[in-house]
Amino acid sequence: AKCKIDLLAGFNLPSSLNKLPLLGVISRLADQKGFDLLAESIGDLMKMDLCFVLLGTGDEKYHQLFERIAKQYPEKAGIKIAYDNTLAHKIEAGADIFLMPSRYEPCGLNQMYSLKYGTVPLVRATGGLEDTIQNYNPKTGVGTGFKFQSYSPRDFLDTVREALTLYRDKERWKRLMIRGMKADFSWQRSAREYIGIYKKARTKTK
């Protein structure tokens, strides 16, 4: 909660927004990262009961788009067209939901950073995003984030609405955060898995 208030202040957004879900983006602003999809969806997204911060640089058309969004929604959208490592960590620490609507993503790191910070990832089910995020199941409560399949504004916005609905249930949202924070993508885990593979291979060669 303290990180969220600090993040809002860093973007000169009203502290009262801390009661709303805060969506964060840190990215290269390019089609590959889903910004053509986000461009189609941003008008509908900003009509929802939420606030939004973005940090990144990339294609000039997206610089212009998000600068317009900042001017159009100064009370709920914070935009910084730059590279800023300190601010990137503050977004990971202070946002409630981290958006990664990538068209394709061989691996992706920010969704894993988000889990460790307790920020719930909302990603497109592609590549490494599909591999690392377990879609939340409202019936069982199992999952670490939210995923959408089709690369379309409709699927993306429907998934955002699903996340916002759960956000209002504070206890279930907290359990989702904690489950994500327990996810293990460390080198120690990877090393253990490699050792297991090598042991199997050695057994088969004897």
Q: Helices (H), strands (E): how many in the chain?
A: 9, 6
Q: Summarize the confidence of residues 109-114 as an average pLDDT.
A: 97
What is the chain's Cα-based Rg? 18
What is this structure's pTM? 0.93
- Phi and psi at 42, nearest 5°, equal -60, -35
Say which residues have a Cβ less than 8 Å from residue 130's Cβ, sequence separation at least 6.
147
Q: Which amino acid is at 64?
A: Q
Contact 190, 196 (CB under 8 A): no
Q: How does pLDDT run across 116-156, given as a tens digit for each residue? A: 999 999 999 999 999 999 999 999 999 999 999 999 999 99
Q: In this structure, what token pair is assigned to residue 56?
A: 């990144």
Residues in the chain: 206
The single-letter DSSP state of residue 29 is B
Residue that has been written with the tokens 């990832």 in this structure: 121
Residue 90 pLDDT more than 80? yes
Say which residues have a Cβ less than 8 Å from residue 72's Cβ, sequence separation at least 6.
46
CA distance 111 to 116: 9
Confidence at residue 206, expressed as pLDDT on a 0 to 100 scale: 64
Q: Which of 43-47, 178-182, 184-188 has the lowest mean pLDDT?
A: 184-188
Half-sphere exposure of 143 (CA within 13 A, CB side): 20
The three-class DSSP label of residue 114 is: helix
Q: How does pLDDT run across 162-177, given as a tens digit for each residue? A: 999 999 999 999 999 9
Confidence of residue 99 (pLDDT cuts 50, 70, 90): very high
| Cα torsion through 151, 42, 80, 173, rounded to 10 | -80
Confidence at residue 204, expressed as pLDDT on a 0 to 100 scale: 82
Residue 198 pLDDT more than 70? yes
Q: How does pLDDT run across 5-26, given as a tens digit for each residue? A: 999 999 999 999 999 999 999 9
Confidence at residue 53, expressed as pLDDT on a 0 to 100 scale: 98
Q: In this structure, what token pair is assigned to residue 49?
A: 């009961």
